[in-house]
Amino acid sequence: MRTSKLLALQLLILVSLFTSVRIACAQQAPAKFTQFTPGAIWPDNNGVHINAHGGGILYQKGKYYWFGEHKIESGAGNRAMVGVHCYSSNDLYNWKDEGIALKVSNDTTSDIAKGCILERPKVIYNVKTKKYVMWFHLELRGKGYSAARAGVATADKVTGPYTFIKSYRPNAGRMPFYPAETLDNERVDCTHPANKSDGFFCRDLPGGQMARDMTVFVDDDQKAYHVFSSEENFTLHLAELTDDYTGHTGKFIRIYINHQTEAPALFKRKGLYYMVGSGCTGWDPNAARWFTAKSIWGPWTFHGNPCKGAGADITYGGQSTHVLPVAGKKNAFIFMADKWTPKNAIDGRYLWLPITFKGDEMEINWSDKWGLNVFDK
Ligand code: DGJ
């Protein structure tokens, strides 16, 4: 009798232990998100706020891969101490940590030495070489923002590891390509630079053009383009990449000359090219701007601010980084922006908002919470 009571007691203890472990596990399981909450902490599958700032997303074989700057705590957190972080998702709400895709180097002589500035990484896939190609804005360690280089790395697997290849200032010695519509006064004349930006362009002609805030874009014909803030951030360049996507062909145009556009993001809808960007105010938010072009080579038309309503003049506190076409949905584009927190870089937030269209005109409106079903309307 005594033994059976003891056994029953032991069983009871075991059952309650098992139940409490199960409850604890259930409590720790990451929440399943079914909506976006712009500006809120966004936990990954481990419950940790996503660390992929200035990022971009590649859709590949039914999955989304988000690449971005891994920031660390404090004001020094904007320097690259770790590398480029990658996350994956099937539904865009819930993200799995896939680790560091490109690691900064412990070799102090490397271009991507720990402590460099490595911003706005974007990954594209080359169907011919079957390589994943990552481009980013690189500033050499200890040199502030003076290097203004484009960096490139490749990988055989989407999540990496990526191998750093080179960094440089693009298109040394090359003059812009001018579409047929170009007016004479839009052509840069290095014997008489017409404005500040022309002056910077001519200054940098021998050594290559400055390349800071950037994106990459693959067109329907698989040609790829690198768009970057150049000429001391006064003018955007849109430059063609080589067939393997790891270099520049030398063909490029200048966009919105002398108007300081940063944070470019490019997308295509119904055969029309769209670009969203920002002004140039450091980590502080400013008004977004949008452009369209019928040909990638321009002319690009400036249309003002796509954001509407309260906070539109500062992009609701954010700065563009990417526009994501939602797979399997028509006319569904997500505006992705960063809300920077330079005093504690790791705490930067993500503002994802749906883009709406009236004809060819794009609009971005604030939403506290929203889901992909907005695109079904
Ligand atoms: C604004 C840029 O968009 C960011 O990527 C970063 O370079 C900051 N400026 C640095 O001040």
pLDDT tens-digit map of 297-308 = 999 999 999 999
Question: How sure is the predictor about 6, in pLDDT bands with cuts at 50, 70 and 90?
Answer: low
Which tokens is 285 given? 């938010």
Query: How much of the chain exceeds pLDDT 90, in percent?
Result: 89
Which tokens is 108 given? 């102090």
Q: Is the CB of residue 69 below 6 angstroms from any atom belonging to ligand 1?
A: no
> How far is the C-alpha of 246 from the C-alpha of 283, rounded, in Å?
29
Question: How sure is the predictor about 7, in pLDDT bands with cuts at 50, 70 and 90?
Answer: low
Q: Is the CB of residue 177 below 6 angstroms from any atom belonging to ligand 1?
A: no
**Best residue among 116, 118, 213 to mutate for probing ligand 1, ranked by most atoms within 8 Å of CB:** 213
Strands of 214-218's sheet in order across: 214-218, 224-230, 235-241, 248-255
Q: Could you report the per-residue pLDDT of 279-290, keeping only the tens digit for each?
A: 999 999 999 999
What pLDDT score was predicted for residue 260? 98
Q: Is the CB of residue 286 below 6 angstroms from any atom belonging to ligand 1?
A: no
**CA of 39 relative to ligand 1 center, distance in Å:** 18
Atom of ligand 1 nearest to the CA of 263: 3
Instruction: Please list the residues that pair with 241 across neighbouring strands.
Output: 248
Q: Is the CB of residue 214 below 6 angstroms from any atom belonging to ligand 1?
A: no
DSSP state of 176: P
Q: Are 150 and 229 in contact (CB under 8 A)?
A: no
Which tokens is 30 given? 């990451």
Q: What are phi and psi of 343, to 5 degrees?
A: -75, -25
Q: Are 137 and 168 in contact (CB under 8 A)?
A: no
Query: How much of the chain exceeds pLDDT 70, in percent?
Result: 92
Q: Could you report the per-residue pLDDT of 131-147, keeping only the tens digit for each?
A: 999 999 999 999 999 99
Domain that includes residue 225, residue range? 37-171+193-372
**CA of 251 relative to ligand 1 center, distance in Å:** 26
> How far is the C-alpha of 223 from the C-alpha of 217, rounded, in Å?
8
> How far is the C-alpha of 299 from the C-alpha of 283, rounded, in Å?
30
Which tokens is 169 given? 């200032």
- Average pLDDT on 92-110 reads 98
For the chain, what is the domain count? 1
User: Is position 304 within any domain?
Assistant: yes
Q: Is the CB of residue 306 below 6 angstroms from any atom belonging to ligand 1?
A: no
Q: Is the CB of residue 54 below 6 angstroms from any atom belonging to ligand 1?
A: yes
Amino acid at 25: C
User: Is position 136 within any domain?
Assistant: yes
Q: Is the CB of residue 348 below 6 angstroms from any atom belonging to ligand 1?
A: no
Q: Is the CB of residue 319 below 6 angstroms from any atom belonging to ligand 1?
A: yes
Q: Are 168 and 149 in contact (CB under 8 A)?
A: yes
What pLDDT score was predicted for residue 91? 97
- Tell whether omega for the bond before 299 is within 30 degrees of 0, i.e. cis: yes
- Average pLDDT on 101-118 reads 98
Question: How sure is the predictor about 221, in pLDDT bands with cuts at 50, 70 and 90?
Answer: very high
Those residues with Cβ within 8 angstroms of residue 323's Cβ, 6 or more apart along the chain or in another chain: 265, 266, 267, 274, 276, 333, 334, 335, 336, 355
User: Is position 44 within any domain?
Assistant: yes
DSSP 112-170: TBTTBEEEEEEEEEETTTTEEEEEEEEE-TTSTT-S-EEEEEEESSTT-PPEEEEEE-S
CATH number at residue 144: 2.115.10.20
Provide the mean pLDDT of the chain.
94
**CA of 73 relative to ligand 1 center, distance in Å:** 17
User: Is position 137 within any domain?
Assistant: yes
**Best residue among 135, 284, 319 to mutate for probing ligand 1, ranked by most atoms within 8 Å of CB:** 319
Q: Could you report the per-residue pLDDT of 225-282, keeping only the tens digit for each?
A: 999 999 999 999 999 999 999 999 999 999 999 999 999 999 999 999 999 999 999 9
**CA of 174 relative to ligand 1 center, distance in Å:** 26
Q: Is the CB of residue 299 below 6 angstroms from any atom belonging to ligand 1?
A: no
User: Over the Cα atoms of the chain, what is R_g?
Assistant: 23
User: Is position 305 within any domain?
Assistant: yes
Which tokens is 279 given? 């002004």
Q: Is the CB of residue 38 below 6 angstroms from any atom belonging to ligand 1?
A: no
**CA of 282 relative to ligand 1 center, distance in Å:** 5
Q: Is the CB of residue 282 below 6 angstroms from any atom belonging to ligand 1?
A: yes
Measuring CA to CA, how many Å separate 139 from each of 23, 213, 268, 304?
48, 11, 30, 30
Residue with CA nearest ligand 1 atom 3: 263
User: Is position 12 within any domain?
Assistant: no
Whole-model pTM: value is 0.92
